[in-house]
Amino acid sequence: MNGPFGIAVEPAKLKQAKPKEYAVRFAFGGAITLLTGLIAHYFGPLVGGLFLAFPAILPASVTLLQQHEDHHQAGVDALGAALGAVGLLAFALLIWLLAEHLPAWLVIALAAALWFVASTLLWVVSKRLHRDHQGSSP
């Protein structure tokens, strides 16, 4: 299933992952979320808030990608995550500015949508810049 900018969904890729790999991701993601709650409880929201952007997904995904594909693909994945992290800045900014003014569900939905749109736009722009740079090289 192909979309704009060469974006495609390949459900068959899921067959490569073993149940144990998902169990590790579940346990790690759950543990980080639990720890974030505990840190906020004991040290307050200004310390706990830092951990809302802790790298919880990337270590497992790049390690598994390196095993299933190669080092280069894992590196490209991590650089893509850097763009997602810029989107996460927009997410955090919106939570900070709107949490006291809008209903909770709306703030969370708007912030998630902003993260997705900002990250995708950044990726599209970086892809175009990369293509233009390659096109202008001798």
Judged by CB under 8 A, the chain residues 45 through 64 that form the site for other proteins are 45-63
How far is 33 from 89, CA to CA, in rounded Å? Answer: 19
75 or 135: whose CB is closer to other proteins? 75
For residue 60 the two structure tokens come to 């497992």
Choose between 9 and 135: whose C-beta lies nearer to other proteins.
Answer: 9
Go through the chain and tell me how many residues it has. Answer: 138
Q: Which residue number, 104 or 137, has a Cβ lying nearer to other proteins? A: 104
132 binds other proteins (CB under 8 A): no
CB of 3 to other proteins, least distance (A): 10
Cβ atoms of 60 and 28 closer than 8 Å: yes
Question: Cβ of residue 126: shortest distance to other proteins, in angstroms?
Answer: 8
In the beta sheet, which residues pair with residue 2?
8
Binding residue (CB under 8 A) for other proteins from 19, 20, 42, 104:
104
Tokens (6 digits) for 5 = 């900018």
26 binds other proteins (CB under 8 A): yes
Give yes or no for residue 20 binding other proteins (CB under 8 A).
Answer: no
| φ and ψ at residue 107, rounded to 5 degrees | -60, -45
**Residue of 129, 29, 122, 135 lying closest to 80 (CA atoms):** 122
> Are the CB atoms for 40 and 49 separated by under 8 Å?
yes
State both tokens at 43.
């040290």
Among 73, 117, 125, 131, which residue interacts with other proteins (rule: CB under 8 A)?
73
Among 18, 19, 20, 115, binds other proteins (CB under 8 A): 115
Residues of this chain, 78-97, that bind other proteins according to CB under 8 A:
78-89, 91-97
